[in-house]
Amino acid sequence: MPANTNTTPTTNASPAATDPGPQAASSPSTVEPTGLVASYNPLKSKFPLCTKDEWAAVGPTVREAVAHLHGLGNHGLRAYLTGMTRLAVWAHREGLPLDIDTLLSHQVIEAHTATLTGSAGTFRTQLRRLAAVNGITVETTGAAYGKQSIATPYTTNEVRALLGFAQAMSNQNRRSQLTGFVLLGAACGFSRGDLRGVCKNDVHEHNGVCHVRTQNRCTPILEEFRDDFEMYLHGCQDGPFVGVKPGANITDRMTEWVGERAGLPKLSGDRLRGFFVLEHLRRGTPVLELLAISGLVRAESIDQYLPYVTLPATRCSLEASSS
């Protein structure tokens, strides 16, 4: 009997070829969501991640971003859908654009994961993989991984809550140091290195504006904290505001004092500094002046705060709305 000439050619497929796992699509163009990605609805979970209106706003972007993943079962896809939903809902509440390029940018991913109290590393890894499969380049160097390039700046209410807690501490030493820490961080934008050695003699006035000097610069305090500074100076001693021994981690000590308390955000020197920079951006402080008073070295350093800035209305739009 003649040999069968219609046999299917064999291939030397490796296990990796048959199970590719998550990988980038051949093109970052739009992919039609199917299966679980198309039917996913976070409102049906035991603890909904958002409201109905929020899901209506972010749902299309979430599905489009996750649709690029290939080779994952439903369990794996659900984890990415959850992570992307949390990111998108957070960004929506912060007023950020809901396009994929913005949401999965390095700055926004880092800013979002800085707000998470647990599993931040897992969510960061998921979001970076989603960025990759959507054709977005993110920073993945060893120095950057696991660290926040910026923590979300505090709101005014959060700063006031921390300041009120510090001013009410019963231990006089802790009250003085923590109050000084919050004031120098939020009202002057001082980094951890700037805090060392600053004392009452470093507070002075130029043209009626209260300033605080360090070895490197002289910074005007934000005017809304003027009364707080005056009250603090009246009660503090002549020694350093933050009297931590050289080599000690300033924020570790203060963070232990604040702890995990209802109504208080976790203490962060970076978030205090971010509040100061963001306030000046909102007020239109010129870039060169902001660099000089904040201690930022390059203008590019300001970019990390821009996702939090709400642009003011133009004159024409204001006139149109009032007419």
Does residue 115 or residue 272 have the better pLDDT? 272
Q: Is the pLDDT confidence value at 122 over 50?
A: yes
Mean pLDDT of 56-61: 92
The distance between the two most distant Cα atoms of the chain, rounded to a whole number of Å, is: 108
Does residue 133 or residue 31 have the better pLDDT? 133
Does residue 49 or residue 60 have the better pLDDT? 60
Q: Name the residue type at position 3.
A: A
pLDDT of residue 16: 37
pLDDT of residue 267: 87
Q: Is the pLDDT confidence value at 149 over 60?
A: no
Is 240 strand, coil or helix? strand
Is 212 strand, coil or helix? strand
Share of the chain above pLDDT 70, in %: 76
Mean pLDDT of 12-31: 43
Query: Which residue ranges make up each domain of the chain?
Result: 32-133, 156-308
Mean pLDDT of 78-86: 89
Q: Residues of 162-193 as b/e, b for ≥16 C-beta within 10 angstroms? A: bbebbbebeeeeebbbbbbbbbbbbbbbbbbe
Least trusted range by pLDDT, from 7-11, 158-162, 258-262, 319-323: 7-11
Mean pLDDT of 18-46: 63
pLDDT of residue 165: 92
Mean pLDDT of 175-195: 85
pLDDT of residue 120: 76
Q: What is the pLDDT of residues 259-306, one digit of tens each?
A: 877 778 888 888 898 999 999 999 889 989 998 888 887 888 888 888
pLDDT of residue 72: 75
* Strand arrangement of the beta sheet that strand 218-220 belongs to: 203-206, 209-213, 218-220
Q: Is the pLDDT confidence value at 14 over 70?
A: no
Mean pLDDT of 55-73: 86
Helices (H), 171-286: 172-188, 192-195, 226-235, 250-258, 269-282
Question: What's the pLDDT band for 247 if we cut at 50, 70, 90?
Answer: very low
pLDDT of residue 157: 92
pLDDT of residue 233: 84
CATH architecture of the domain 156-308 equals Orthogonal Bundle (1.10)
- What does pLDDT average to over the chain? 78
Q: Is the pLDDT confidence value at 5 over 80?
A: no
